[in-house]
Structures are given as structure tokens and as C-alpha cells.
Amino acid sequence: MADLKTIARPYARAIFELSSPDDRAEWSQTLALLAAVVADEALQPILTDPGLSRTQKADLVLGICADTLCPAAPNLVRLLADNKRLEALPDIAEIYETLRAEAEKTLVADLISAFEVDKQQRKQIAQALSKQLQREVVLNCTVDESLLGGAVIRAGDWVIDGSARSHLNKLAVNLRL
């Protein structure tokens, strides 16, 4: 079977191109919900059961999501079920978010620090990243005490590792040489 990212890309692109800037947020929520439902471990045996028809699988997913989907979403779910591609929904959601961020010139960056980062520091980091990447940056901040000190920033393919753990690991490697 083809890679799920390869399968998901045309679907995500089509959804993005058919959506207007006004309903992109709604599509983001819809795709995130559908992706979560399809990826749920409790539903995996049911969704992969060869005894269930494609229509039954689509109805199951749509029944769980009920009235929280955007109007065109049931058609998408039925299309994916008919083509045996419901499992591609998490990748469709991820690719859609990438396309949306590109169009809106935004980027979500992860800031993982050893200690809590205050509001002023978050603002300064977001501004510096925005200037460097020429996009509006939204920071997701988490604390990981195993870093010992410093922080790690992940923004798209970019990784800046300024953690004490990283520096200690580099020092250990250099001492072994």
C-alpha cells in the first residue's frame, strides 16, 4: 500500500483549495476531530474489520462526530470510506494545517524549556522567531526538567537546541575523543 502521506496529500490539497479563508478554521477543527476518531485505539479493530461495509464504517465515524462537523465533511468521510482511506485522516489533517499555515503566513513553534518561561520571555522569543522566519509565530510552551537548563525550539524543520543536556552530551562526546 502507498505511504499514507502520499495518499493524504491530494485530499488535503483539495479540501484546502475548496475551502474559503473564512471556513478554514472550521475545517481545521473538523479534520482534527475526524483524525482523532479514526486514530482512537478502541475504534481501530472496528474500522479495520473486513466484515463491516464501507458505508457502515463511514456511518460509525459520522455518528461519533454527530453535529460537530462542517457541512461538507460527511461527503469527505464517505469518499474516504469508499476508497478505503479513512486511516489517512490524521495525515490529511496534518497536511491541511501545513497548507493553512503557509497561506496565513503563520508557524507554530514548540518551546521546550527546563523551567517555566514567563510572558515577557515568550513574547521576545516569538518576536525573534517571527523576524527570522518572516512569519507570525505562535509558541507552544512546555516544561521538560530533564533538559537541566536552557531550552529547545522546534519550528517546522528548524531546531535550535540550547539545552544544558545537549551541551553536556557534546562535551561528553568530545572528552571521549
Domain that holds residue 18: 4-101
DSSP 37-68: HHH-TTTHHHHT-TTS-HHHHHHHHHHHHGGG
Q: Would the pLDDT of 167 be above 90? A: no
DSSP 3-47: -HHHHHHHHHHHHHHHS-TTTHHHHHHHHHHHHHHHH-TTTHHHH
Cβ 128 vs Cβ 151: under 8 Å = no
Average pLDDT over residues 76-88: 95
Of 101, 118, 137, the residue at which a domain comes to its end is 101
Q: What is the pLDDT of residue 2?
A: 63
Look up the pTM and report it: 0.71
Our count of domains for the chain comes to 2
Count CA atoms within 13 Å of residue 3 on its CB side: 3
Cβ 111 vs Cβ 140: under 8 Å = yes
Residues 96 and 123 placed together within one structural domain of the fold:
no
Return the C-alpha cell found at 13.
Answer: 490539497
Residues 36 and 110 placed together within one structural domain of the fold:
no
Return the C-alpha cell found at 99.
Answer: 497548507
Closest CA to 160 of 139, 176, 175: 139
pLDDT digits (tens, 9 = 90+) for 121-157: 999 999 998 898 888 888 889 999 888 888 899 887 7
Q: What is the pLDDT of residue 12?
A: 95
Of 76, 101, 126, the residue at which a domain comes to its end is 101
Residues 62 and 36 placed together within one structural domain of the fold:
yes
